[in-house]
Amino acid sequence: QVHLVESGGGLVQAGGSLRLSCAASGRTFTTFAMGWFRRAPGKEREFVATISWNGLSTRYADSVKGRFTISRDNAKNTVYLQMNSLRPEDTAVYYCAGSGTYGYTTPTRMHEYDYWGQGTQVTVSS
């Protein structure tokens, strides 16, 4: 079992930055691919970024490419999402997710993930 807890959300002005963290419990974290998803008001949850178990492979949604960076520290059982040049359309609840089944890849679809955090709110004001 893996338990995920996100932190770092908040209110920021457009153009600003935030760094989200996701702390994982469980010994198997280092074998998991980790991802970030988000759900904006009135919209479905969507993929944001993912990172392979060893941190060597990453993938991003086109909407955040060049602005967001996903990283991980396996010694701390933590994955991060650095968000720069934030826009009002980035406003959403951001969810951390872990995939044991696809740990050696960079999964982008929700059903490929086994564990989910409770989410953290990010609000970008214009």
What's residue 103's pLDDT? 87
How many C-beta neighbours within 10 Å does residue 3 have?
Answer: 12
pLDDT band with cut points at 50, 70 and 90 for residue 44: very high
Q: Coil, strand or helix: which one is 55?
A: coil
Q: Are strands 92-99 and 58-60 parallel, antiparallel or unpaired?
A: unpaired
What would the pLDDT profile of 83-101 be if each residue is shown by its tens digit? 999 999 999 999 999 999 8
What's residue 82's pLDDT? 98
Asked if 101 contacts 112 with a C-beta cutoff of 8 angstroms, the reply is yes
What's residue 125's pLDDT? 97
Q: Which of 15-24, 58-67, 96-105, 114-123 has the lowest mean pLDDT?
A: 96-105
What's residue 29's pLDDT? 84
Percentage, residues of the chain above pLDDT 90: 90
What would the pLDDT profile of 101-114 be if each residue is shown by its tens digit? 888 899 999 999 99
What CA–CA distance (Å, rounded) separates 111 from 99? 9
